Amino acid sequence: MPTRDRITSPEGVAFRDLNGNGTMEPYENPTLPAGARVADLLTRMTLEEKAGLMMMSILETGADGSIVEGGGLFRDATSTLIHGKRMNHFNALRLPGSRAAARWSNLLQDLAAETRLGIPVTLSTDPRHSFSENLGAALAAGAFSQWPETLGFGAIDDPELVGRFADIARQEYLAVGIRGALHPQIDLATEPRWARAAGGFGQSAETTERLVAAYLRGFQGQRLTPASVACMTKHFPGGGPQRDGEDPHFPYGREQVYPGGGFEYHLRPFRVAIAAGTAALMPYYGLPVGLTLPDGTAVEEVGFGFNRTIITTLLRDQLGYDGIVCTDWGLITDQQVAGLPFPARAWGVEQLSRPDRVARVIEAGCDQFGGETCPELIVDLVRSGRLAEERLDVSVRRLLLVKFELGLFDDPYVDEAAAELIVGRPEFAAAGRAAQRRSLTLLKNDGPAGLPLLPLATGTRVYSPDLSEEEVRKHGVPVPDPAEADVAILRLRAPHEARNDYFLEARFHAGRLDFDAGTLARVAELSRITPVVLDVYLDRPAILGTLADDAAAIIVNYGCGADCLLDVLFGAASPQGRLPFELPRSMAAVEASRPDLPGDTADPVYPHGFGLGYAAGVARG
């Protein structure tokens, strides 16, 4: 395993030899308080090094764990970012196998160790323990243990389970050198159409408050230590109430609205996260429209990352938060990625130049720029007199403190062989599958003669175009013709409107929630042949329409493998989830609802909290 060049004091304390003369540098002394080490290192840093610390960007990984030197989806060479731009905060994109991922992390630390001050890299990640594959929000599990989406934890509503998940994810992250979690997402899914619902715990502030505290304890512990993964809770002060449910990654979705006066409701989980010691917060892209704080202060209509009233007045002064604030991705620079435009999310300040946008973010009270690689703009602003270097020092202290608390200066390396043994280990994988089963939510269970259809008996003849014969054969008998089947099992996904004008747009499921006429007709026709068991993946609410009548049984999932689904359908496990949001009756009801209030659609088909159990076959509440 690679190690940095070190010398050792007579007391056995390791120090880095910065100058090659045997000097034992205090900022490397692990026996000193972290604050003292930060203060010492800060005096040694150049303006360029401070500016580099304030940037975070995405890095790609070679398939064998090698360093990628440009030419990928994001074209910056890794060595240029670390050596040329003095950057040392990065977000890992897709990772190869666990051993190769650990090797890559170590190679990054080797590059960082070659810089003048040897400031180690903090490697972070978006969620990567479930089923989503969205480069703007989450990554599929790969070698890591696989769990339901965060929304599934909201359906289970068990803080102990969430804490167990977070502890397992922490161990897997540490094994490959990931020290920052760009999550939890604790936005409330009050606008049924919003594309980011799967990343949060649902519409309920009460549920989210309970679960975020457990989540942070599992990743961070009571305080940050070398055994912690530092969490960046998002998206302050609460995404979700978007006009028409559109997402502010894109220009048409920039407006965040509060017609029901629900701002404080969305703020509630963040109060808990702050009290629980979240290491960092990320403001959302949204531009608040017509918003005033509870004390009557009017909020300027600019994106939250540029918004001094939100970041300094509310977050820093009123809520007393003194941790890191990192912007959401790409507020400064227009980009073209994969041949598609990705305009800077500079909502409300589009007319400003890039340097003016940078100044506006720092003046608002933010410490770090997500998705940007332009530290030279900060340097120029200081040298021109627009920004004081002392203001940068405030942010740099916060960023360095987390590195020291995580123990990165003392040993940033990982054991590549051990990573293979830890990541995805059998008991971790089993816990993830158990959570998938538990999260399944049974909405309807009507069989012949008024008896429940589920669970199915072993040996049931099953027609299913969406499951492999091998999967079905573990419990039942697959048949190719629905006329020969005792039951048909169909797997559907919540509807969305296809879009692809901007980079990432097709990955954000937005627009209408109702199923198309062809899907409705197909299920209706099949139900006339044999009873239909309908499984629907919900990454946001769905309008079931006639499916609610035509299917004999309806179960919904939030990320669930076929084996786990069949275990539940055949009674090897039981569904325990409850809906983390209501399922609206119609698009008219959605359009008439207030996007900032939970459960605001008229006469939902299934209300928030609904779920059936096998034993009683009645709703649990």
In the predicted structure, residue 2 carries a pLDDT above the cut 60 = no
CATH of residue 321's domain is 3.20.20.300
Minimum mean pLDDT among 120-134, 159-173, 538-552: which range? 120-134
Do 327 and 230 share a structural domain? yes
Tens-place pLDDT, residues 383-411: 999 999 999 999 999 999 999 999 999 99
Look up residue 318 and give its DSSP letter: I
CA-to-CA distance for 209 and 617, rounded, in angstroms?
29
* CATH code at position 551: 3.40.50.1700
Instruction: Centre a 10 Å sphere on the Cβ of residue 163 and count the other Cβ atoms it contains.
Output: 18
Residue 398 lies in a domain: yes
For residues 315 and 199, state if they share a domain. Answer: yes
Starting from the edge strand earliest in sequence, which strands make up the sheet with 180-181, in order?
A: 324-325, 280-283, 230-236, 180-181, 122-125, 89-92, 55-59, 369-370
- DSSP-based helix, strand, coil % in the chain, nearest 5: 35, 15, 50
Residues 403 and 526 in one domain: no
Asked whether residue 448 falls in the same domain as residue 347, the answer is no
What is the rounded average pLDDT for all residues in the chain? 92
pLDDT of residue 26: 64
Render the burial of 87-113: b for 16+ CB within 10 Å, e for the rest.
bbbbbbbebbbbbbbbbbbbbbbbbbb
- Let me know whether 416 and 495 are in one domain: no
Q: How far apart are the first and last CA of the chain?
A: 53
Q: Is 335 exposed, middle or buried (0-12, 13-18, 19+ CB in 10 A)?
A: middle
Q: Are residues 405 and 468 in the same domain?
A: no
Any domain includes 81: no
pLDDT of amino acid 355: 98
47 in any annotated domain: no
The pLDDT value recorded for residue 449 is 85
Cα–Cα distance for residue pair 269/266, rounded to 1 Å = 7
Any idea what DSSP says for residue 313? Answer: I
Please give the C-alpha separations between residue 354 and each of 373, 385, 485, in angstroms, as whole numbers. Answer: 12, 16, 63
Backbone angles phi, psi at 385, to 5 degrees: 90, 0
Cis preceding-peptide flag for 455 (omega within 30 of 0): yes
User: Is residue 42 a part of any domain in this protein?
Assistant: no
Pairing, β 461-463 against β 477-478:
parallel
- 415 plus 453 within the same structural domain: no
Beta strands 477-478; 532-537: pairing state? unpaired
**Distance of alpha carbon 85 from alpha carbon 80, whole angstroms:** 6
Q: Report phi then psi at 427, rounded to 5.
A: -70, -30
By annotation, the residues acting in catalysis are 328
* Residue 194 maps to a domain: yes
Q: The whole model's pTM is what?
A: 0.93
User: In the predicted model, what is the mean pLDDT of residues 405-421?
Assistant: 96
SS3 90: strand
Q: What average pLDDT does range 406-421 have in this prediction?
A: 96
pLDDT value at residue 498: 87
Same domain, 412 and 519: no
Label residues 575-612 b or e (16+ Cβ within 10 Å = b): bbbbbbbbbbbbbebbeebbbbbbebbeebbbbbbbbb
Within-domain flag for 60: no
472-498: per-residue pLDDT in tens? 999 999 999 999 999 999 999 999 998
Instruction: Look up the domain containing 417 and give its range.
Output: 123-373+386-422
| pLDDT exceeds 60 at position 535 | yes
pLDDT, residue 330, reads 95
Per-residue confidence band for 134, with pLDDT thresholds at 50, 70 and 90: low
Instruction: Indicate whether 517 and 463 sit together in one domain.
Output: yes
Instruction: Establish if 250 belongs to a structural domain.
Output: yes
- Region 233-253: what's the mean pLDDT? 95
Contact 414, 106 (CB under 8 A): yes
Domain count, the chain: 2
Asked whether residue 256 falls in the same domain as residue 328, the answer is: yes
State whether 338 and 455 are in the same domain.
no
pLDDT at site 133: 55
Q: Closest Cα to residue 248, out of 377, 344, 318?
A: 344
Please tell me whether residues 220 and 361 are part of one structural domain: yes
Residue 64 belongs to some domain of the structure: no
